[in-house]
Chain A
Amino acid sequence: MFKKILIANRGEIAVRVIRACRELGIPSVAVFSEVDRAALHVRKADEAYPLGPAAASESYLNIDKIISAARKSGADAIHPGYGFLSENPRFAHACGEAGIKFIGPTAASMEMMGSKTRARQNMEKAGVPFVPGTSRGVDSPEEALRVSEKIGYPVMLKAAAGGGGKGMRLVHTPQELPSALESARSEAQRAFASDEVYIEKAILNPRHIEMQVLADEYGNTVYLGERECSIQRRHQKVLEESPSPIVDSDMRSRMGEIAVRVAKAAGYTNAGTIEFLADQQKNFYFLEMNTRLQVEHPVTELTTGLDLVHLQIRIAAGEELPFRQQDVQIRGHAIECRIYAEDPDNHYFPSPGKISLLLLPSGPGIRRDSGMYEGWTVPIDYDPLLAKLIGYGTDREQATSRLVRALNEYFVGGIKTNISLFRRILNDPDFRTARLDTGFLDRLLEKPQPQEAADSNAARIAAIAAGVFAVLDPDTARKDPASLNGGGGDMHSNWKRIGREEALK
């Protein structure tokens, strides 16, 4: 087993991995940028090393600095979390060169799956069902038109090197195609340094269903149930659940077997996820493979009773999978909300700042994976994911009611969060009846917000409370507007200012 693990990440996932290390009795090493010195993951680790300025390229994406921190600490393994370097073959390779075990798949399988066109080519060989389309980037508008004619409109143009919605265009008619191709190409070039664009048939109202796989380094590969991640905004997942409401045990075993086949064809080891698009008739097609642990892994952990990070560490340490496919049981239902520091009333604009008050949900069936604490200042420099709130129950209805209850207990004061969005989602009739597809959230956000009945009683309570607060908890900070905004002292800190300026370059 490893004698020390460095976590090359930050925020809630770094805390989560540190917890697994503690549970396994393995010392943990945190790394942090200048704006993360007071971050929760640094507080919880056994050791911590500074990386440098806030900009990710100077810190969490900097391979040399991270390897150097690992060497200094004597860590013999690195867990990359998700995002950052988790799917970077150069990093996996650099770890190997430094004699440090990368807790994840090999660089070779990352490379194979990292290019969506190469992934398609290899999966075709493995007999995996695909969304009809090209396995190679298109070279010219003429080729694109020819291919699209054959596949049938509408078609989706996609960046081979990309994800997260960038370099994607939905095309309904041949007339739109040439300019869509042009703009997809340039967006892809800017975002991923590659303008390779391929074409797939656009599935209308698809459901995004993904299958968790786990493979040890001896060829034992299993699937651990699916997750439905159709609730997305601009191709970013917002809410996920397991199991998928439309997947029965027959569909699960068919998808699972294909997922295992994909993983094996890629020579995959450790934890990974195969993404499928499913139509409303339950046909499903391979979309891509994510060669890392995912944000939404808790819903799989809760419904299978397995600890995926423990298993990742043990697999990387050379242990065999301690169970077989037939031992995997799916029980109950789990739903996860991603809590972001965003302003739902202002186009989900990031909302950094100091958390002045944090009241936390707990109780039956509630899991909270969080990187925030009261008094912490959320930095502007990174993805604003604050925490994940997961509700678990015997069935979807109970998981939902627990999650709604917990969201009412959750209070984050001082910054804006998207907590109110989840109330809207979970109370929506289409959500309750599981009528989901990737257009769900866009449609919900277009509906007028239900006007809460003007509660004159609540307004009177607020008036009384204002007076009582003034007596019991005087607002002395108001004398000095600068210090009212909690981070007043911090705002004038030079390193913070420099960090922000760099992030904005």
Chain B
Amino acid sequence: MTYEVTVEGKQFRLELNRIDGRWQCSLDGHEIHFDAVLPRRDVLSILIEGKAYEIKRERTATDLHLWVGPRRYDVHLRDPRSLRSRATADDGKGPRKLVAPMPGKVVRVLVPENEEVQAGEGVLVVEAMKMQNEIKSPKKGIVRKLIAAPGANVNAGDVLAVVE
């Protein structure tokens, strides 16, 4: 199985093989043998040369996060051969949706449509529970499809804008 994996913006090419229950992979050409079991959904135990790693998976509406130890990694996985994944290519370089994390009201637009935004820069401000929440762009790009305007009420999960 071959995958293109992006971890915190860094791209890897991963070739995975499992023979007789033994795992082996080639990561950017570097060969690694390891053992892996899934003790429960969303938790993976990987052993590499005696070192043990417990990896937790977390999925949100738009992202995949993997935790290695106490650190969280933003991950995108693409199977180049899969038709479905080509159609919804999400390697972190494609368009990213900005989603309302909770019900609230749009109070301010910080970056107007068709303007450039940096990774981590606030695009708009949603007010909820008497606090103002800056919705930040996950990547550098151009703001498109600014769906929400000041005064609009939004529900959790509503797409507010798309950054391409």
Residues of A whose CB lies within 8 Å of any CB of B are: 346-347, 349-353, 356-357, 359, 380, 408, 411, 413-414, 420, 423, 452, 455, 458-473, 475, 477-479, 481-482, 484-485, 488, 491, 497, 500-501, 503-504
Contacts and interface: CB of A to CB of B under 8 A. Distances in A.
B42 A473 contact: yes
B129 A359 contact: no
A353 B102 CA distance: 9
Contact of B71 (A452, A470, A475, A497): A452
B55 to A, nearest CB: 4
B58 A414 contact: yes
B14 A458 contact: no
Contact of A467 (B14, B38, B156): B14
B104 interface: yes
B103 A504 contact: yes
Interface in B1-38: 1, 3, 5, 7-8, 10, 12, 14, 16, 18, 23, 25, 27, 32, 34, 36, 38
A485 B61 contact: yes
Interface stretch (B73-81, B107-115, B137-145): B73-81
A448 B6 CA distance: 27
A482 B159 CA distance: 11
A357 B27 CA distance: 28
Given A423-B70, A459-B8, A470-B77, A504 B62 contact: no
B152 interface: no
B56 A359 contact: yes
Contact of B68 (A352, A465, A484): A465
Is the contact region of chain A dominated by helix, strand, or loop, or is it mixed?
helix
Given A469-B55, A484-B61, 15 more contacts: A349-B131, A413-B58, A459-B73, A460-B12, A462-B75, A463-B7, A467-B25, A468-B44, A472-B38, A481-B61, A488-B157, A491-B155, A491-B156, A504-B128, A504-B129
A413 B72 CA distance: 11
Contacts of A458: 68-69, 71, 73
Contact of B103 (A469, A475, A501): A501
Contacts of A408: 69-70
Nearest to B5: A463
B94 to A, nearest CB: 14
B134 interface: yes
Contacts of B67: 411, 413
Interface in B58-103: 58-62, 64, 66-71, 73, 75, 77, 79, 84, 88, 101-103
B69 A465 contact: no
Contacts of A357: 41-43, 56-58
Contacts of B55: 461-462, 465, 469
A419 to B, nearest CB: 9
27 contacts: A346-B133, A350-B131, A357-B57, A380-B129, A411-B56, A458-B73, A459-B7, A460-B12, A461-B46, A462-B73, A464-B27, A464-B32, A465-B44, A466-B5, A466-B7, A466-B77, A467-B14, A468-B16, A468-B36, A469-B57, A471-B16, A472-B44, A473-B44, A478-B59, A484-B60, A491-B157, A497-B155
B75 A466 contact: yes
Contacts of B155: 491, 497
A465 B66 contact: yes
B58 A466 contact: no
B5 A467 contact: yes
Given A473-B41, A485-B61, A463 B27 contact: yes
A352 B102 CA distance: 8
Contact of B70 (A347, A420, A464): A420
A450 to B, nearest CB: 12
A484 B58 CA distance: 10
B69 A356 contact: no
Given A380-B102, A461-B53, A467 B77 contact: yes
B76 to A, nearest CB: 8
Contact of A359 (B36, B43, B61, B75): B43
A420 B56 CA distance: 16
A495 B103 CA distance: 14
A299 to B, nearest CB: 25
A488 to B, nearest CB: 8
B108 to A, nearest CB: 16
Contacts of B14: 463-464, 466-467
B14 to A, nearest CB: 5
Contacts of B58: 356-357, 413-414
A494 to B, nearest CB: 12
A359 B43 CA distance: 10
A252 to B, nearest CB: 37
B66 A471 contact: no
B46 A468 contact: yes
A454 B30 CA distance: 20
Given A467-B77, A472-B44, A485-B61, A462 B7 contact: yes
B56 A471 contact: no
Contacts of B134: 346
Contacts of A356: 42, 58-59
A481 B159 CA distance: 11
B68 to A, nearest CB: 4
A1 B82 CA distance: 68
Nearest to B32: A464
